């Protein structure tokens, strides 16, 4: 997918097809990458914000899903509750992609894992350090650790650790490590995310205090492997979860991560649609 983009040669996989995008949360990279993907595949992306449909007037989500799946070929949903996503999936006759829920962000992990492979080769048995909030992206990193057989060390403030059921299902690949330096020491990747996820803006003062010792600095990166990569799903807030010299430094691959959202999501769309007419 990435090579074809560079050579201006695009498949017409979605020619005559429509992708319905039901987004109940704001987005930059996710929305743009999915819309560009549909365009490059020769298809059409139909974007529905919260106020753009009858959902805003109380139509059951299950009914909306049934209608959309009778007209569109693919549904992409960004929502708060995982249950809402599952409701759409269970009532849809076409594939449904999780474009982010409060619990998980799997499309981000497709891009992150691909970025590591692109830069360093197989991620199997690599050591990854997650620094900060045990949020939806962290949960997807836990899933990835068991899926791709690498070790995930998670350093979070007390009260902000990832869901323990998700952690316990990692087949022993993900672990909580209280000491942030110990979590990073010798690792191959250092990953962080904003301290203020979508919907948590009102808790900024409390969260900033809780996470004040969980910033990825050049000093912290110095204890990782010399070839360690720095990742961040963006948006980033320099001076909070990461310092400017790290995110803008030579070890940072955040811009490759962001671009790779497009390529990995195109691969996902192809995987879901390639047998549609067979």
Tens of pLDDT, residue by residue over 148-165, are 999 999 999 999 999 999
Q: What is the pTM of this model?
A: 0.95
Residue 139 has pLDDT above 80, yes or no: yes
Active site annotation includes 251: no
CATH code of domain 106-247: 3.40.50.1370
Write down the catalytic residue from 108, 153, 173, 188: 108
On whether the 2-102+258-273 domain is CATH 3.40.50.1370, my answer is yes
Write down the catalytic residue from 105, 153, 207, 263: 105
pLDDT tens, 34-80? 999 999 999 999 999 988 888 888 999 999 999 999 999 999 999 99
Pairing of the two strands 151-155 and 174-176 = parallel
Q: Where are the domains of the chain?
A: 2-102+258-273, 106-247
First vs last Cα of the chain: how many Å apart?
Answer: 22
Active site annotation includes 171: no
Residue 11 has pLDDT above 60, yes or no: yes
Question: Which has the closest alpha carbon to 128: 148, 107, 150, 147?
Answer: 150
CA angle 265, 269, 273 (to 5 degrees): 175
Write down the catalytic residue from 193, 232, 251, 263: 193
Active site annotation includes 108: yes
Active site annotation includes 29: no
Write down the catalytic residue from 84, 143, 261, 263: 261
**Is residue 86 reached through a cis peptide bond, with omega within 30 degrees of 0 on the bond before it?**
no
pLDDT of residue 199: 66
**Which two structure tokens, joined as six digits, stand for 251?**
């070890």
Active site annotation includes 124: no
**Which two structure tokens, joined as six digits, stand for 273?**
């649609």
Q: How far apart are CA 78 and CA 31, in angstroms?
A: 9
Active site annotation includes 31: no
């Amino acid at each position: 997918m990435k090579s074809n983009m560079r050579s201006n040669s695009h498949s017409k996989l979605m020619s005559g097809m429509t992708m319905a995008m039901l987004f109940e949360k704001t987005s930059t990279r996710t929305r743009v990458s999915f819309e560009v993907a549909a365009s490059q595949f020769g298809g059409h992306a139909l974007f529905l914000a919260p106020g753009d449909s009858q959902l805003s007037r109380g139509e059951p989500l299950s009914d909306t899903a049934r209608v959309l799946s009778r007209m569109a070929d693919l549904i992409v949903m960004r929502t708060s509750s995982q249950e809402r996503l599952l409701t759409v999936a269970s009532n849809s006759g076409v594939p449904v992609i999780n474009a982010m829920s409060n619990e998980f962000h799997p499309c981000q992990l497709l891009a992150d894992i691909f970025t590591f492979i692109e830069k360093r080769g197989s991620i199997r048995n690599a050591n990854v350090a997650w620094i900060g909030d045990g949020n939806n992206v962290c949960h997807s990193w836990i899933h990835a650790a068991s899926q791709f057989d690498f070790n995930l060390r998670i350093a979070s403030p007390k009260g902000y650790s990832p869901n323990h059921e998700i952690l316990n299902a990692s087949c022993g690949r993900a672990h909580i490590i209280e000491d942030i330096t110990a979590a990073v020491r010798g690792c191959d990747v250092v990953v962080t995310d904003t301290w203020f996820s979508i919907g948590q803006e009102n808790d900024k003062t409390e969260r900033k205090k809780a996470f004040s010792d969980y910033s990825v600095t050049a000093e912290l990166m110095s204890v990782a492997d010399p070839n360690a990569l720095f990742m961040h799903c963006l948006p980033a807030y320099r001076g909070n979860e990461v310092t400017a010299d790290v995110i803008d430094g030579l070890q940072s691959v955040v811009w490759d991560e962001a671009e790779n959202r497009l390529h990995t999501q195109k691969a996902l769309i192809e995987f879901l649609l390639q047998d549609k007419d067979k």
